[in-house]
Amino acid sequence: MTAQISSAIKRAASRPYLTKTVVQIAKFMTVGVLNTLIDAGTYFILTRGLGLMALPVLAKSIAYVVGMINSFFWNRNWTFKSQTSTWRAAFLFTLTHIVALGINAGVMALSINVLYLPEIIGIGLATISSFVWNFALNKLLVFQS
């Protein structure tokens, strides 16, 4: 068993691009979890702590933007270690995420309204679709690592 693991590690190490990408995917996922926590935390602070309970959509919008800003900086500096122009990357990052929102909502609508899949399956497919889109575009276009 340990020989198989050792062999797999050696094969992965012989493909530095693949290894780098796997590490970036893990970091990208970690940043995504952090963003989810920041988004939810910000939403609850705004609605419960700062009195925006009557304006939940505004609170959610602000929380989402706070999460996006966090995502931009962590992915730029930690996940992809990008040296690209901050303004160019921020612009492309924003566009990428706007399209990702459309993909996410579209896959959800397709899953539930056309394919009649259970809601949890729709959520999973929507999340996977927007994750793949975001990772690929962030790696290949936004942060060009």
Tens digit of pLDDT for each residue in 98-127?
A: 999 999 889 999 999 999 999 999 889 999
Higher pLDDT, 44 or 145: 44
Greater confidence (15 vs 120) lies with 120
Cβ distance 43 to 63 under 8 Å? yes
> What is the model's pTM?
0.79
pLDDT at 91 (0 to 100): 97
Rounded to the nearest 10°, the torsion over CA 66, 133, 12, 89 is -50
Residue 80 pLDDT level (bands cut at 50, 70, 90): very high
As a whole number, mean pLDDT of residues 72-78 equals: 96
